Amino acid sequence: MNSAAVADGVPVRIEVHGPVLVVTLDRPEVHNAIDPESHAELVRAWNRLRDDDALRVGIVTGAGRKAFCAGIDLHRLEDFYAESHPGERRERWAREPGIGGLTRNFDAGKPVIAAINGFCLGLGLELALASDIRLASPNATFGLPEVKWGIIPGQGGTQRLPRAIPPNVALEMILTGTPISARRAYEIGLVNRVVSLRRLMPTARSLANEIARFPVRAVRHARDAVRRGLNLPLADALQLEQDLAEPLRTSTESRAARATFGAKRPGHRRPSRDRSSAGRHRSNRRV
């Protein structure tokens, strides 16, 4: 498995491990809080994941052992809104990717796994919510503390959290700003698994490589069906499912995958390529 760093000396590390892009927020001194420079690097990373056909799955995590991402860097908050009035910001954010890249107006089109290794607060939780699969270490904590600062979660938190967990539980987290533990996050379905900090990244990479082994279009269409279908009435979602399933049924990729699966079934006999050898064996059996 090859590993090549493609960004150096910046607040976000980007590494390629075969078909997997690993994106690491690298500001441990501020619990990996996101500043404008981090945001720009994250947007660049997600664009690479989307545009590079050799990449099939992304992983996002935080540097160190204490934090995935503690949110937006409050000391740099004004820099996100400098030199623009509310009307200009509204128009810009309506078309540009949200802070963190994945949070609004952007879809990489490929699965993203969040490996949550500690504080996952505010914008950090919103970035995790925008991912497809969430793994957490036991020391992880999850929360949306924005009301304490006189604002509300503005990068998808008020919309994605009630879609990920029961709305009443989401409202309690949003209205009180009280964080929850990794165990509680698992109980309510906010995270898929809780694994030891030591095993967190190996587990994320193993899961990413497992997904990357499967036919590309099948993975993308399945993901697309789920993500788009959640926002549709059931009848429309079922139609979407058929629209996405139909072109795969007779695709070259699907035929090859089914043939491979059939060849691995117990009792499956591969036809002999050496007919003369087979004939000799039959002749020997007749003697």
User: How confident is the model at residue 225, as a pLDDT?
Assistant: 97
User: How confident is the model at residue 250, as a pLDDT?
Assistant: 78
Give the DSSP letter of residue 195.
-
Instruction: Indicate whether this model's pTM tops 0.75.
Output: yes
Distances (CA, A) of 33 to 69, 100, 239: 5, 10, 41
Rounded to an integer, what distance in angstroms lies between the CA atom of residue 237 and that of residue 150? 38
User: How confident is the model at residue 175, as a pLDDT?
Assistant: 98
Residues of the chain with pLDDT under 70: 1-9, 81-85, 251, 254-287
φ and ψ at residue 12, rounded to 5 degrees: -135, 125
Long-range contacts of 189-195 (CB under 8 A, 24+ apart): 189/164, 189/165, 190/134, 190/142, 190/164, 190/165, 191/116, 191/134, 191/135, 191/136, 191/140, 192/133, 192/134, 192/135, 193/135, 193/136, 194/135, 194/136, 194/137, 194/138, 194/140, 195/135, 195/136, 195/137
- Return all residues near 258 (Cβ < 8 A) that are at least 6 apart: none
User: How confident is the model at residue 108, as a pLDDT?
Assistant: 95
| Cα maximum dimension of the chain | 95
Q: Which residue has the tokens 């590079």?
A: 52
Alpha helices in the chain (DSSP H): 36-51, 77-81, 86-93, 123-130, 157-164, 167-176, 182-187, 197-212, 216-229, 234-249, 252-263, 275-286
Q: Which residue has the tokens 């009307």?
A: 87
State in Å, rounded, how far the first CA of the chain is from the last one.
Answer: 53
Q: Which residues are catalytic?
A: 126, 146
φ and ψ at residue 137, rounded to 5 degrees: -85, 160
Helix (H, G, I), strand (E, B) or coil at 66: coil
User: How confident is the model at residue 272, as a pLDDT?
Assistant: 46
Rounded to an integer, what distance in angstroms lies between the CA atom of residue 225 and that of residue 228? 6
User: How confident is the model at residue 85, as a pLDDT?
Assistant: 67
User: How confident is the model at residue 24, as a pLDDT?
Assistant: 98
Residue 61 C-alpha from the chain's centroid: 10
Give the DSSP letter of residue 180.
E
| Contact (Cβ atoms closer than 8 angstroms) between residue 212 and residue 19 | yes
- Return all residues near 230 (Cβ < 8 A) that are at least 6 apart: 163, 237
Written as six digits, the tokens of 24 are 């690491």
